[in-house]
Amino acid sequence: MPLRANTERTRYYPLSWAAVLIAKPDILSEKDLEDLRHNIAHLSPQSLRDVYARSHEECHLVYNRLPSPKKVQTLIQIWKHI
């Protein structure tokens, strides 16, 4: 019998990933995005830089900790405004 390559891979996810996959995604709704854009538009330049710096820090990848989609969406909206 000839040897065949294992074409099907078994994927093992840590328990924390299972909880993430099952949980409701943490994303901003269209209404939340509109409110965020409105609030960003009314910030002073210095406040905008401060909010951007804090949001950028929250989105840093550290080992296996991924930023939440909500934090990434916030960073993107601030970046678009800059």
- In this predicted model, what pLDDT tens digit does every residue of 13-59 receive, in sequence order? 555 555 555 556 688 889 999 999 999 999 999 999 999 999 999 99
Q: Report the pLDDT averaged over residues 3-11.
A: 56
Query: Does residue 9 register a pLDDT over 60?
Result: no
Query: Does residue 82 register a pLDDT over 60?
Result: yes
Amino acid occupying residue 23: A
Give the pLDDT score at 3: 55
Q: Flag whether the pTM goes above 0.75.
A: no
Return the percent helix, strand and coil in the chain, to nearest 5: 55, 0, 40
